[in-house]
Amino acid sequence: MTQKLNAINDFVVKFANVNGSGSASANELFARAILRMGVPVSPRNIFPSNIQGLPTWYEVRVSGAGHLGRRGGVDMVVAMNPETWKQDLAELTPGGYLLHDSTRPLPESAFRKDVTTIGVPLTAICNATYSDPRQRQLFKNILYVGALAQLMGIEPAVIETLFARQYKGKEPLIASNVKAMRLGRDWVRDNLPADICGLRIARADAVGDMIFAEGNAAAALGAVWGGATVCAWYPITPSSSVAEAFEGYCKRYRTDAATGKARYAIVQAEDELASIGMVIGAGWNGARAFTATSGPGISLMTEFIGLAYFAEIPSVIVNVQRGGPSTGMPTRTQQSDLLSCAYASNGDTKHVLLFPEDPRECFDFTAAALDLAERLQTPVFVMSDLDIGMNRRLCRPFAWEDGRRYDRGKVMTAEELEVGKTFGRYLDVDGDGIPWRTLPGTHPSRGAFFTRGTTKNAFARYSEEGADYVANMERLQKKFATARALVPPPELSPAGRPTAWGAISYGSTAPAMAEALATLVADGHPLDALRLRAFPFPDSVRDFILAHDKVFVVEQNRDGQMRSLLVNELDVDPARLIAVLHYDGTPITARFIIAAIRDRLAAGVVTPLERAVS
């Protein structure tokens, strides 16, 4: 007999459901109840690209230590979908637990001997209690949450508080949900041995003031607080909820109290060509504008992105990355649009990219992107992904300082034009490569200019002179160098003792990376780590690479896109950079990173090079 798993505040529960069965809110209730017990959780939705009837999973990692990356492996399955029963059962760690609806008896062959089966007659209880079919379905979900609470030691009062909050003002709903939860709890208490489940939640104090937020909603909040007034978008998973959330928050926070009028404009465009075109038109005309999209949308936008780069028009693109290429894996996560965004469009182009690690940074970076776009007069990408965007993640609370001013960049005013200040749209007067602009309608006779994607001289006149072209391209290069000092700097986590090895990661890889580093240090493999937060890279990134003999570049794509970007932009020896790549569409795990790095260390791939020069 396999030993039953015993763990307190450190395990993974996977809910297997049928899409559209109303399980999502019950599953989230389970995760929130654990949070309310002071224990960190990180849930992940795993869903197919369809609306109803197909399987969906909700995987909750409980980690008292606060590890928020996906762990890998499953310790308990709540098997509510007969279709995926076999595969769900097969995934269970030996010694794990299977919670299922035991209303209909199943043959012994349907179960695993090395797994503890916990049968609760959910359907039978529901049918005996409710007559309405919809209620039977919905309360079955609440029933299993009640059962889990009893099995794991989650305080029912915590769940009841959550109901009270969710259904505030709808007292009958609170009562009926509490009743369903108690039905599940009582059945387990009265019919199963008290120690049947070795996975337990113990009250802790590890959540603090953290919030439980989705990256897409956070990006939308960043756009509201950051002053975006125009949003043009075209629906695409996993980015649609950015624009939808923006609309929701705008209705609430940007509706003029006196007149009921909107201090924002949202257009669902006919495609991504139009959505980026609208953003560029609005940016040209002085409004803060953004779009949200995913890989296929970026592909369509590229001609326009080149125009915005060359004509120097502020624009913000939130790219919630998904699995590519082509339609790829639309409901799975990846970090595979780095190159297509960094160099988007024909000709020599380069763009500013920001890499948020979690919802907090989705908020911060979207607001920052609106400032950067106007300061630098160029497109700025917020490179989120499905893992951060569409899952709730525990993170630091959003913060905003009252009195913070928007950086509207170099916009020449009517007064400045009136007193005769020289205006050359593409003139580098300040030595930072950033020219001054005027907005349409500013002055009756001064400051008007023609914006175009063709070559022009410093005064915005059409030109086919090679010298004008080169001067402009070099100024753009200088402007990009200026950007290095304006973007969020990388975050260094030193190993704490001298090491020749480093690791670079970015974006949603952060929590798995942090967890992996801790284990590797404990195992005697200290690594200095650098979390990149933006492109172009500040000098510190090159310094970091040169300070280590070998640097692992950990990312979620097949081709090592960040590694290519580092090699290309920093002119470092590619042999120094070892790719660690995870790209099956599931979020990267600490286990994967640890194994990959250990393997390479064992294979001697990273025997420190003898320094040629010291």
Piece of 7-15, 89-97, 205-213, 469-477 that binds another protein (CB under 8 A): 205-213
Bridge partners, residue 459, by sequence: none
Helix (H) or strand (E) holding 311: helix 295-311
Here the tokens at position 471 are 């001067």
109 touches another protein (CB under 8 A): no
- Residue 611 is classified by DSSP as P
* CA–CA dist 506, 539 (Å, integer): 17
- Residue 328 is classified by DSSP as -
Whether 288 and 246 have beta carbons less than 8 Å apart is answered as no
Minimum distance from residue 65 beta carbon to another protein (Å): 20
For the beta carbon of residue 523, count every other beta carbon within 10 angstroms: 12
Residues 6+ apart with CB under 8 A from 322: 237, 238, 294, 295, 328, 329, 330, 331, 332, 333, 334, 385, 386
Alpha-carbon distances, residue 292 vs 182, 289, 366, 397, 526 (angstroms): 43, 11, 11, 23, 39
Piece of 1-9, 175-183, 275-283, 578-586 that binds another protein (CB under 8 A): 275-283
Whether 574 and 568 have beta carbons less than 8 Å apart is answered as no
Residue keyed to tokens 């470092």: 572
445 touches another protein (CB under 8 A): yes
Residues 241 to 260: which contact another protein by CB under 8 A? 253-254, 256, 259-260
Residues 358 to 397: which contact another protein by CB under 8 A? 397
Here the tokens at position 88 are 């769900």
**How many amino acids of this chain bind another protein (CB under 8 A)?**
76
Minimum distance from residue 448 beta carbon to another protein (Å): 5
399 touches another protein (CB under 8 A): yes
Q: Which residue number, 229 or 561, has a Cβ lying nearer to another protein?
A: 229
Minimum distance from residue 321 beta carbon to another protein (Å): 24
Residues 542 to 581: which contact another protein by CB under 8 A? none
Minimum distance from residue 403 beta carbon to another protein (Å): 9
Residues 6+ apart with CB under 8 A from 505: 513, 529, 530, 531, 532, 553, 554, 555
Applying CB under 8 A, which of residues 327, 347, 400, 568 lies at the interface with another protein?
400
Pairing, β 55-63 against β 41-46: antiparallel
Minimum distance from residue 517 beta carbon to another protein (Å): 28
Q: Which amino acid is at 439?
A: L
Minimum distance from residue 32 beta carbon to another protein (Å): 9
Q: Which residue number, 461 or 484, has a Cβ lying nearer to another protein?
A: 461
Applying CB under 8 A, which of residues 97, 139, 187, 212 lies at the interface with another protein?
212
Minimum distance from residue 142 beta carbon to another protein (Å): 22
415 touches another protein (CB under 8 A): no
Piece of 79-87, 186-194, 286-294, 565-573 that binds another protein (CB under 8 A): 286-294
> What are residue 191's phi and psi, to 5 degrees?
-120, -10
Applying CB under 8 A, which of residues 221, 318, 487, 514 lies at the interface with another protein?
221
Here the tokens at position 597 are 């790095």
Phi-psi region of 411 (alpha: psi -120 to 50; beta: other; left: phi over 0): beta
Minimum distance from residue 412 beta carbon to another protein (Å): 13
595 touches another protein (CB under 8 A): no
Q: Which residue number, 283 or 389, has a Cβ lying nearer to another protein?
A: 283
Whether 286 and 280 have beta carbons less than 8 Å apart is answered as no
Angle at 211 between CA 206 and CA 213, to 5 degrees: 130
Applying CB under 8 A, which of residues 347, 404, 481, 573 lies at the interface with another protein?
404
Strand runs labelled E in 295-411: 315-321, 352-354, 379-385, 392-395
Residues making up the chain, counted from first to last: 614
205 touches another protein (CB under 8 A): no
For the beta carbon of residue 536, count every other beta carbon within 10 angstroms: 21
Q: Which residue number, 94 or 459, has a Cβ lying nearer to another protein?
A: 459
Residues 451 to 480: which contact another protein by CB under 8 A? 451-454, 461-464
Site string for another protein, 504-523 (x = CB under 8 A): --------------------
Site string for another protein, 164-203 (x = CB under 8 A): ----------------------------------------
Residues 6+ apart with CB under 8 A from 248: 220
Minimum distance from residue 224 beta carbon to another protein (Å): 7
What is the four-CA torsion angle of 266, 270, 273, 279, rounded to 10 degrees? -10
Here the tokens at position 76 are 């308990």
Whether 508 and 335 have beta carbons less than 8 Å apart is answered as yes
Minimum distance from residue 523 beta carbon to another protein (Å): 35
Q: Which residue number, 204 or 448, has a Cβ lying nearer to another protein?
A: 448
Q: Which residue number, 176 or 216, has a Cβ lying nearer to another protein?
A: 216
Q: Which residue number, 15 or 290, has a Cβ lying nearer to another protein?
A: 290
Minimum distance from residue 315 beta carbon to another protein (Å): 9
286 touches another protein (CB under 8 A): yes
Minimum distance from residue 165 beta carbon to another protein (Å): 9
Applying CB under 8 A, which of residues 176, 229, 335, 384 lies at the interface with another protein?
229
Applying CB under 8 A, which of residues 196, 204, 206, 262 lies at the interface with another protein?
262
Piece of 6-14, 146-154, 401-409, 591-599 that binds another protein (CB under 8 A): 401-409
Using CB atoms within 10 A of its CB, is residue 276 exposed (0-12), middle (13-18) or buried (19+)?
A: buried
* CA–CA dist 412, 378 (Å, integer): 17
For the beta carbon of residue 172, count every other beta carbon within 10 angstroms: 8
In terms of Cα–Cα distance, which of 362, 5, 86 is closest to 213? Answer: 362
Residues 305 to 334: which contact another protein by CB under 8 A? 307, 311
Alpha-carbon distances, residue 579 vs 360, 504, 549 (angstroms): 28, 10, 14
402 touches another protein (CB under 8 A): yes
* CA–CA dist 582, 595 (Å, integer): 12
497 touches another protein (CB under 8 A): no
Q: Which residue number, 111 or 167, has a Cβ lying nearer to another protein?
A: 167
Applying CB under 8 A, which of residues 91, 155, 303, 407 lies at the interface with another protein?
303
281 touches another protein (CB under 8 A): yes
SS3 603: coil
Piece of 76-84, 206-214, 494-502, 504-512 that binds another protein (CB under 8 A): 206-214
Piece of 10-18, 54-62, 155-163, 266-274 that binds another protein (CB under 8 A): 266-274
